[in-house]
Amino acid sequence: MSGFAVVDPYTLERVEEVPYFSAAEVEAALASVWSAWTDWVPATTVAERAALIARVAELHEERVDALADAIVREMGKPRPQAVGEVEFAAAIYRWYAGHAERLLADEPIEGAAATAYIRKSPTGPLLGIMPWNFPYYQVARFAGPNIIVGNPILLKHAPQCPDSARLIEAVFRDAGIPLGGYTNLIADEEQIAGVIADRRIRGVSLTGSERAGTAVAEIAGRNLKKVVLELGGSDPFIVLSTDDLDAVVEAAFAARFDNNGQSCNAPKRFIVVDALYDAFASKLTERMAAVEPGDPKDDDTVLGPLSSEPAAIRIEDQVRRALAAGATARLAPRPRDGARFSPVVLEGISADNPAYREEFFGPVASLYRVSGEQEAIALANATDFGLGSYVWTTDPAQALRVADRLETGMVYVNTVLADSPELPFGGTKRSGTGREMGAVGIEEFINKKLVYIA
């Protein structure tokens, strides 16, 4: 592919192609973010930039239909979820706009011999490398806070998202943020490597695969650039006790099928105590078996196509390898139709099965039976990933014990799909480094400058 392209994953129709930037266009983009850093940022205050981001939120709401339609077409997200993503992005921009001055205020240093404080200053131009699965939400949690801080943004979107990329850039421009304050970049991997190394770029944030994270971190490390990485996840959904198993199953289903099963922090491994396993497995399988991939433009569609035909082929191959290695299918795979992949439920996955450590990025549920709390924790931690986790229990003390021992960046107790602008998002181990959203998210790319006045 010689550029970005929109291929409707439901019909496999090639809708649009956008060529990569030329070397001159990449240089112009770099020059624009540097100009914003040297000219626009010093001429504006935190409050003024926050007001512009508040306008970005308003424009997302005003243009919700056009924005939602673009990502339905680009990556097959069911339309109600696409609308929800646009609205959540607006909420993130609005939250940061409303809290920025407090979050970025000077911090006095108590006990110093003279007046001393930490001034939260911008770092400089940043490169964002964003994925296809949440084209608006991912941009909001990176670009919103950093523009308020005063870090101009160069944004490389996913190759299948040129339409939504243009719409986002138009929102920022119409909100009053100049070219350079936020700038699209249509570039290939070689060009991106050069951008990361460029002296005008001070840091990089990537949301994507382990492979991409490793490559970006290596280049950034050689050039002494800070990186924030949000990579994959194989989040455990641990069921220890409940007064309402049907509600737990419904939560499991809703979270696993969110975004067509293509969410980094979706529960993917369902770890259930022996006393509840059979009933949970039967109910979840029945719920999943009733779903077939449908047209994402239809408001009643629960499961759309995967983001692309290669994505569907990839997960089809994962399931085939898992079964060949000894797993059993409680809900067997049905024939794939282009990018449309039907739900699968696997169980009997042994520690030597590749599925034991892989991430299934689609509507596949892996079930594990455990004897109790200790085995559940050990199994939950037996992965290289450490993004999110979900714990279901009627015992508050048990909830805290398990939360303390899970090797993840996030633990949700008795709930799913509870993301909110004030809650930090990120993981540990091979799920990445750093955090986005909340008070800690805005501090990833700031210069905590000591000012000491004798």
Q: What is the pLDDT of residue 1?
A: 55
Q: What is the pLDDT of residue 300?
A: 94
Instruction: In the chain, list all ranges with CATH 3.40.309.10.
Output: 235-418
Residue 422 has pLDDT above 70, yes or no: yes
Helix (H, G, I), strand (E, B) or coil at 303: coil
Q: Which residues contact 8 (CB under 8 A, 6 or more apart)?
A: 15, 73, 76
Of 74, 85, 169, 230, which is the active-site residue? 230
C-alpha closest to that of 14 among 305, 446, 309, 293 = 309
CA pseudo-torsion sign 351, 354, 357, 362: negative
pLDDT tier for residue 205 given thresholds of 50, 70 and 90: very high
- Burial bucket for residue 42 (CB in 10 Å: 0-12, 13-18, 19+): exposed
Q: Please give the Cα distance from 186 to 167 (Å, whole number).
A: 14
Structure token digits, residue 336: 């794939």
C-alpha closest to that of 417 among 206, 161, 231, 235 = 235
**Candidate from 105-114, 120-129, 246-255, 426-435 with smallest mean pLDDT:** 105-114
Q: What are the DSSP calls for 137-155, one per residue?
A: HHHHHHHHHHHHHT--EEE
Cα 59 to Cα 64, 100, 194, distances in angstroms: 8, 19, 33
* Percent of the chain residues topping a pLDDT of 90: 97
Which CATH fold would you assign to the domain 3-230+430-453? Answer: Aldehyde Dehydrogenase; Chain A, domain 1 (3.40.605)
- pTM value is 0.96
Of 85, 161, 169, 264, which is the active-site residue? 264
Label residues 374-383 b or e (16+ Cβ within 10 Å = b).
Answer: eebbebbbeb
Q: Which residues contact 420 (CB under 8 A, 6 or more apart)?
A: none
Q: Residue range 393-412: average pLDDT?
A: 98
Q: Residue range 192-199: average pLDDT?
A: 98
Helix (H, G, I), strand (E, B) or coil at 362: coil
Active site residue 347: no
Q: What is the pLDDT of residue 250?
A: 98
Mean pLDDT score of the chain: 96
Residue pair 395/241 in contact (Cβ under 8 Å)? The answer is yes
Lay out the sheet containing 153-156: strands in order across: 182-185, 153-156, 126-129, 203-207, 226-230, 432-433
Q: What is the pLDDT of residue 2?
A: 83
Beta-bridge mates of residue 364: 344
Q: What is the pLDDT of residue 321?
A: 97
Q: What is the pLDDT of residue 418?
A: 95
Residue 246 has pLDDT above 80, yes or no: yes
- What is the CATH code for 235-418? 3.40.309.10
Residue pair 429/407 in contact (Cβ under 8 Å)? The answer is yes
Active site residue 264: yes
Instruction: In the chain, list all ranges with CATH 3.40.605.10.
Output: 3-230+430-453
- Which residue has tokens 């382990």? 210
Residue 5 has pLDDT above 70, yes or no: yes
